[in-house]
Amino acid sequence: MSRLPQDLEARLTAAAPAGIEYSADTDQYGVTVAWLGLASAADLSPVAALLKELGARLSMITCTQPSAPEEEEEDEDEESEDGEEKAEAAPKETPKTFGGTPLDGTSYEIDYHFDIAGDALTIIAYVPQGGSIASLTPLFRNADWHEREMMELYAVKVTDHPDPRRLFLDASVDGAVLERLIPFSTLVNAASTKGLWERLTAAGKKGAA
C-alpha cells in the first residue's frame, strides 16, 4: 500500500554509515508515516540527497530541545562533539540518544519532514549544545526560511547557509528565544499602547533635540 519504495530502508542504511533507526506505520487511509533517526547528523546530507533522488519534497523543519528523561538529574557539564565513541569508552550518567548525543535538555533534535508522493518521512538528527548542522539549501532551496527561523529561535548553527539573516525577529532581539523564559509582559511589549507611545515620544524628543 505504501508509496515509499520497497527497498527504502536498505537504501537509507547504505546512505547513512553511522546507523539509522527506522520505523513506519500506515493508517486506515493507506497513508504511511515513516520516521528515520540518524545516529550522526553528518549523514543528513547524503540521506537528503537520496530522498531528492526519490522525488521527495521538503515540507517542514522542526527544531526542538527534547527535555531530559525525568528519572535523571540535570547534568550539563559535558558537551560531546562525537558522542558515539565516548559513550562506549566511558558511560556517563546522562541518557543518550542511540547515536550518542546527550539527552540532557540542552541538545537539539532537528526533524526534517519530507513528502514522498503523499507519504510522510521525517529525518531526525541530533545536535549537541554548541554544535552545528549542514544546511540543506544546496539540495532543497526551500530549506532557506526554515533554517533561518531555526537559527533565530534556537542557538543552533547552520553551516553554509546562503543567507543567514534574521527571518522574523528584529536584529535588536537577543537570539535563541525558545531557549529562554520570556515573561509574557515582555513578549507582548509592542501590544501595550501606552508603553509603545512612551517609547515613540521619547525617541521623537531625542530626534528633535
Q: How far is the CB of 134 from other proteins (least distance, A)?
A: 19
Q: Which stretch binds other proteins (CB under 8 A): 5-13, 15-23, 97-105, 111-119?
A: 111-119
SS3 63: strand
Residue of the chain from 13, 45, 59, 132 that contacts other proteins (CB under 8 A): 59
Q: Which residues pair with 58 in a beta bridge?
A: 114
178 binds other proteins (CB under 8 A): yes
From residue 195, alpha-carbon distances to 170, 172, 174, 198, 201 in Å are 18, 17, 20, 5, 10
Q: Which is nearer to other proteins, 27 or 77 (CB)?
A: 27
The answer to whether residue 111 forms part of the interface with other proteins (CB under 8 A) is yes
* 170 lines the binding site for other proteins (CB under 8 A): yes
Cα–Cα dist 138/101, whole Å: 26
| Torsion on CA atoms 168, 40, 54, 114, rounded to nearest 10 | -30
Residue 55 vs 207, nearer CB to other proteins: 55
Number of residues in contact with other proteins under rule CB under 8 A? 38
For residue 178, give the C-alpha cell: 525558545
Which range in 16-24, 72-80, 84-92, 142-150 contacts other proteins by CB under 8 A?
142-150
